[in-house]
Amino acid sequence: MALLYDGEKPFFLGAVTGAVLFAWLGFSAFGWKTDGKSEMLGKQQAERAVVTAYAQICSAQFNAAKDFPDRLATLQKSERWSRGDVVAKGGWATMYGTKEPMQGVSQACADLLIPEKI
C-alpha cells in the first residue's frame, strides 16, 4: 500500500514547500530571531548602553580636571585612533572601584571630547 495517492502528492509537496518558504522568509526578511540570537543581541545592546554611560562620566571627569585646555590640546594633537589610549592613560576612563577602563569606554570618551568631523 502506498503512503500517498497520486492526487495527494501535489498537496503535500506544496504544503512542505510553503512551510519551508514561510520559515525562510520569517528568519531572513521578517526579523524572527532564535532565543540564542535574541539573548546575544540583548547583551550587545546592554554593553553599548553601559559604554555610552561610562563615556559620559569620563567626559565629565576630563572636563572637570585641572589644566583642561592643555589636556584637550594634547588630545587633539594625537592621532584619532590613539586618542582612546591617551584618555585611558590619563585615568579618566577608569571608573571608581575598578583597576582599568571597560573595553571601548576610553575611545567613546575621546570621541565625545573631540567629535569626528563629517
Residues 20, 23, 28, 33, CA torsion sign? negative
The span from the CA of 81 to the CA of 92, in Å, is: 17
Assign 59 a pLDDT band (cuts: 50, 70, 90): very high
- Residue 2: per-residue pLDDT: 56
Instruction: Return the number of other C-beta atoms located less than 10 Å from residue 93's C-beta.
Output: 28
* pLDDT at residue 3 greater than cutoff 70: no
The percentage of the chain sitting over the pLDDT mark of 70, rounded to a whole number, equals 94
- Residue 30: per-residue pLDDT: 82
The 10s digit of each residue's pLDDT in 11-44 is 888 899 999 898 888 888 888 888 898 899 999 9
Record the cell numbers describing residue 111, joined without a space. Answer: 570621541
pTM of the model: 0.70
- Residue 4: per-residue pLDDT: 61
Q: Left if phi > 0, otherwise alpha if psi is -120 to 50, otherwise beta: which for 14?
A: alpha
The 10s digit of each residue's pLDDT in 69-117 is 899 999 999 998 999 999 999 998 999 999 999 999 999 999 999 988 7
The terminus-to-terminus CA distance of the chain in angstroms comes to 73
User: At 54, which helix (H) or strand (E)?
Assistant: helix 35-64
Long-range CB contacts (within 8 A, 24+) of 101-104: 101/54, 101/58, 102/50, 102/51, 102/54, 103/51, 104/51
